[in-house]
Amino acid sequence: MTRYVLAACAAALCSCAHPPAYVRPTTAAAPAFKEDPGWKSAAPADEAIRGDWWTLFGDPELTRLEAQIDVSNQNLKAAEARFAEARAALRITRANLYPQVTAAPSAVVARPSGARATTSFHDVYGDILLPGDVSYEIDAWGRIHGTVNAAVAQAQASAADVETARLSVHAELALDYFDLRALDRERDLLDQAVANYEQALQLTNNRFQGGIASQADVALAETQLETTRALAVDEDVQRAALEHAIAALVGEPASTFALARAPIGAAPPAIPAALPSTLLERRPDVAAAERRVAAASAQVGATRAAWFPILTLSGAAGFEASSLGKLLSTTSTLWSVGPAALVTVFDGGRKRAVTAQAQAAYDEAVANYRETVLTAFRDVEDQLAALNILGNEAEIQTRAIAAAQRSLEQATNRYRGGLASYLEVTAAQTAALTSVRTGVGIDLRRLSAGVLLLKAAGGGWDAQTVRDVASK
């Protein structure tokens, strides 16, 4: 009967110590995105976003630069090193599941004091010891497994952090690249405008020489020309900074890196879609936040197990003798084996505080996870709205550009016919150039929104890639 009672008590203690299975915190997910309810799962499946999402833009130079990120970007290498640290920490924690074997051989020659109360001789003696010790903590309450589970989840979160850093760096490169190409296109427009203004100045000079135009018209034409030249030169300052930023992203010195001029494309590509419910599996930052919740949950279980006794099984065996000749004899053997339990009788509330701390850390991780999910949905909605609105704006701006060009042609013809002053021509030139540059800005914002939408959707990444960390 005593054995049955003890067994029942042990089973009850085990059931109290082991925490319940981890369950992912619930989050609210809408059935469709509000800003684009037609944005649903891509079909067929080969249209889905892949890992190299930047290839959707069809720019070979961008693809070439993006390929250098994984090889040479130093921020990404730092993130990978942090992941390696997490993997090593996991292996260290797992080592606690196995017995620890130590050996501490020693050889001593000593002469004790004859004046000590416990010493009855004053002779020199030798002591040679070859021991081996084995110690194993019996994880009856799940404390060690809890810390291992926490380390596994932390390593998985670190793996997702690497993918978050990778996605951010690739997106930053794409954004900088399109900014640079937009400047190239603006520079082409400004160079073309300078050429047109030079012709207009020549025409005004000819009219002034013929007594038709005034000196004020000539000065106005020169002002328009030189102002536009200054704008064209100013573009080079921004372009140089972007070129240097791209060099740093691809791991090359800014002094040796250069990109040939090429104008930006007109519109973003069609981006494969997904449902809101799949976003949680495609965003590495969401996966990292969820894994940190799992780690905090496992840590709560480990701290609760600390309330129970620490059970260890230890043993020692070896040889001890006063000389090498006697060391391996049967009489020099020694051994010991036995269990031990460590029980904290009083700690001033330390364990209770540690448990409360772990629970608070879990609550914080849950709140951070839910906030990350809300941010993920907001990011997608923002970029869907931007693409829709900017698409409409681009159509309107196209009509505005056409109207500005017609106005410029009419003003120029009126000026040549002597029906208008050059001030009217200058105003039409400024309006036409401003309208075209605004169109370039809209095209850039559409491409940037496309990049940010791909980033917000996880860039084709899948959370399954972090679940194999524990087995490696």
Which range has the worst mean pLDDT, 17-31, 91-105, 130-144?
A: 17-31
Which range has the worst mean pLDDT, 27-41, 146-160, 439-453?
A: 27-41
What b-and-e string marks burial along 144-171, b requiring 16 or more CB atoms within 10 Å of the CB?
Answer: bbbbbbbbbbbbbbbbbbbbbbbbbbbb
The arithmetic mean of pLDDT across residues 349-360, rounded, is: 93
Residues in the chain: 472
Structural domains for the chain: 19-98+142-307+350-471 (1.20.1600.10)
Q: How far apart are CA 304 and CA 326, in angstroms?
A: 51
Cβ contact 461:406 at 8 Å:
no
Count CB neighbours of 7 within 10 A.
10
pLDDT of residue 329: 81
The arithmetic mean of pLDDT across residues 367-388, rounded, is: 93
pLDDT digits (tens, 9 = 90+) for 236-250: 999 999 999 999 999
pLDDT of residue 415: 87
What tokens were used for 450? Answer: 């496309």
Whether the pLDDT of residue 18 is over 70: the answer is: no
Percent of the chain with pLDDT over 70: 88
- Count Cα neighbours of 352 within 13 Å in the Cβ-side half-sphere: 4
pLDDT digits (tens, 9 = 90+) for 40-77: 443 334 445 667 899 989 999 999 999 999 999 999 99
Give 242 or 342, the one with higher predicted confidence: 242
The arithmetic mean of pLDDT across residues 309-314, rounded, is: 92
What tokens were used for 402? Answer: 């056409």
